[in-house]
Amino acid sequence: MNVAVIGNGAIGLCCAYELYRRYPSLQISLFGSNQNKYGASLAAGAMINVASEIDCFNCSHKLTAWKMSNRKEVLNLWRELEQSFLDKKVINKNIIDGGGTEVVIDNDSSNEVELNSFKSMKKCLQLYGYKIQSFSDQKNSSLLINDEKSVDAELFIQSLIRYLGEHIKIYNIDIESIKKNSKFWELTDYSGATKHFTHVVIACGAWSEGLIKRSNLRNKPNIKSFFGVGSALLTYSELPYVQEPKIDKIIRTPNRGGTCGIHSVQRSNGLYIGASSLITDVEIQSPRMSSIESILEGARKTIGINTYQLSFSILTGYRPVTLDAVPIIGELDENLFCLYGTKRDGFTWAPYYAKHLVNQIFGEINSNWQEMLNLSSPFRTLISAGDFEKCVESYVLNKKYEAFQHGFELTNNEIDNLREIAIKAHKRISQDLSFGLQPELINMIAYSN
């Protein structure tokens, strides 16, 4: 038996680490060029957020129910991973940082999406019996979720690559295609070299679909995926007399649907402030100016940072996003596994997915993982985001506050046009309007050929 993991982001690395940790004598190979500037994991805030990710769009979705039921396990796995990293000297310090996640809203906010999301999060947490602290003063209301902390994404990725480089075979090159060659899976890299494996895991994030399309495979996933382009800022001071902002916990707004919420996370080399979101099938190279403006405004207003004289660098990455915003996880063919489409919380779930995928490779599937496999099967039909009319209205609301955030107010005519766009997109998916689309994906579908 020999296993190839294709993709060197958080998910591929966690899979390779889990394989090595449990089966040190197994032949494991990890593929991925280190020239790619747009991997999601390096751009991620790496908030280990489950409850803090609930919003008014996903609160009653099956995937949210699954995540809430598995929340305890994923948080435990992070603690186990931290201990394992210390024992094996992957990193010589704790990887989990901060005092939890504070979700904040401005009481006077006219952003209905944000207010609804805050209420949904609170309600959902009560429903699942989680004890959280809530605070309110004249200006803000907030929820403190103590056990949802963060990881320094860059430190995590670089340390894991360094450690794995000493124990398994790492190829600094991308795979061009996969095909079945008698009993083996044959991988061809971009230099034309081929290698054979009994088991293969496709974990190249937003590029996974491209690899599958280029490959000669008898099965392909039913669900399309896109690039969820996200940008964030890493702020720091380069001047001795300018004090760097520091925070001791994650401070964030709830998700805002189309426009991702504002969040700030302390990293060892600066304060991370994210993030924008644009779903597209174009490999965009640079962030939109309005995205950077919104993040800067969020940094000042929501996080309360004095940005004057601070320096910043821009991090851009492609979140892997599927047409129904549910990941694609499962066995595409015998011993060929897919693990992508994790959208905005793939970092959080990386150790969980890695543990259970490795179990699956070795023939063990527990009921929780089976439930996930049923939900996220590559052969599933699209999973509805809910009632069609509600999805149309959520899209309109989203757009209204997206415009508002950028200083515009939509006219009634413009709102009617948006409603038409949303209906058109829904009709493209199901003529009888029996299917609800994620608001974030509506433009993508309405304007695709």
Ligand X SMILES: Cc1cc2nc3c(=O)[nH]c(=O)nc-3n(C[C@H](O)[C@H](O)[C@H](O)COP(=O)(O)OP(=O)(O)OC[C@H]3O[C@@H](n4cnc5c(N)ncnc54)[C@H](O)[C@@H]3O)c2cc1C
Q: Contact region for ligand X (CB under 6 A) — 3-11, 54-62, 409-417, 427-435?
A: 3-11
Residue closer to ligand X, measured from CB, 31 or 395: 31
The reply to whether 209 sits near ligand X by the rule CB under 6 A is: no
Q: Which candidate, 291, 449, 349, 414, places its Cα nearest to that of 148? A: 349
Q: Which candidate, 99, 98, 104, places its Cα nearest to that of 122? A: 104
**Largest alpha-carbon pair distance within the chain?**
69
Q: Contact region for ligand X (CB under 6 A) — 6-14, 105-113, 124-132, 368-376?
A: 6-14
Question: For ligand X, which residue of 3, 75, 203, 382 counts as binding (CB under 6 A)?
Answer: 203
Question: For ligand X, which residue of 100, 257, 320, 330 counts as binding (CB under 6 A)?
Answer: 320
Contact in structure between 340 and 363 (CB atoms under 8 Å): no
Question: For ligand X, which residue of 253, 255, 335, 348 counts as binding (CB under 6 A)?
Answer: 348
Q: What minimum distance in Å lies between the beta carbon of 206 and ligand X?
A: 6
The reply to whether 298 sits near ligand X by the rule CB under 6 A is: no
Which positions from 120 through 179 interact with ligand X, judged by CB under 6 A? 174-175
Residue closer to ligand X, measured from CB, 39 or 221: 39
3-state secondary structure of 202: strand
The reply to whether 317 sits near ligand X by the rule CB under 6 A is: yes
Q: What minimum distance in Å lies between the beta carbon of 413 and ligand X?
A: 34
Count of chain residues binding ligand X (CB under 6 A): 43
Q: State phi, psi for 213 to the nearest 5 degrees.
A: -65, -35
DSSP 380-397: PPPPP-S-HHHHHHHHHH
* Beta-ladder partners of 169: 29
Q: What minimum distance in Å lies between the beta carbon of 15 and ligand X?
A: 9
Dihedral of alpha carbons 308, 314, 320, 324, sign: positive
Question: For ligand X, which residue of 114, 154, 324, 345 counts as binding (CB under 6 A)?
Answer: 345
Q: What are the helix (H) ranges across 406-448?
A: 412-429, 442-446
Q: How far apart are CA 409 and CA 404, in angstroms?
A: 6
The reply to whether 116 sits near ligand X by the rule CB under 6 A is: no
Cα–Cα distances in Å, from 47 out to 135, 147, 174?
21, 11, 28
DSSP 266-295: EETTEEEEE---EEESS---S--HHHHHHH
Question: For ligand X, which residue of 346, 378, 436, 439 counts as binding (CB under 6 A)?
Answer: 346
Question: For ligand X, which residue of 98, 205, 258, 351 counts as binding (CB under 6 A)?
Answer: 205
The reply to whether 274 sits near ligand X by the rule CB under 6 A is: yes
Question: For ligand X, which residue of 156, 227, 340, 352 counts as binding (CB under 6 A)?
Answer: 340
Q: Is the peptide bond before 275 cis (omega within 30 degrees of 0)?
A: yes
The reply to whether 395 sits near ligand X by the rule CB under 6 A is: no
The reply to whether 36 sits near ligand X by the rule CB under 6 A is: yes
- Map residues 46-85 to x or -, x wherever contact with ligand X holds by CB under 6 A: xx-x------------------------------------
Question: For ligand X, which residue of 344, 355, 356, 399 counts as binding (CB under 6 A)?
Answer: 344
Residue closer to ligand X, measured from CB, 322 or 421: 322
Q: How far apart are CA 14 and CA 178, in angstroms?
A: 22
The upper half-sphere exposure of residue 438, i.e. CA atoms within 13 Å in the direction of its Cβ, equals 21
DSSP 163-181: HHHTTSEEE-S-EEEEEEE
The structure tokens listed for 264 are: 């700030």
Q: What minimum distance in Å lies between the beta carbon of 327 and ligand X?
A: 9
Q: Which residues bind ligand X (CB under 6 A)?
A: 6-12, 31-33, 36, 39-41, 43-47, 49, 174-175, 203-207, 211, 230, 232, 274-275, 317, 319-320, 340, 342-348
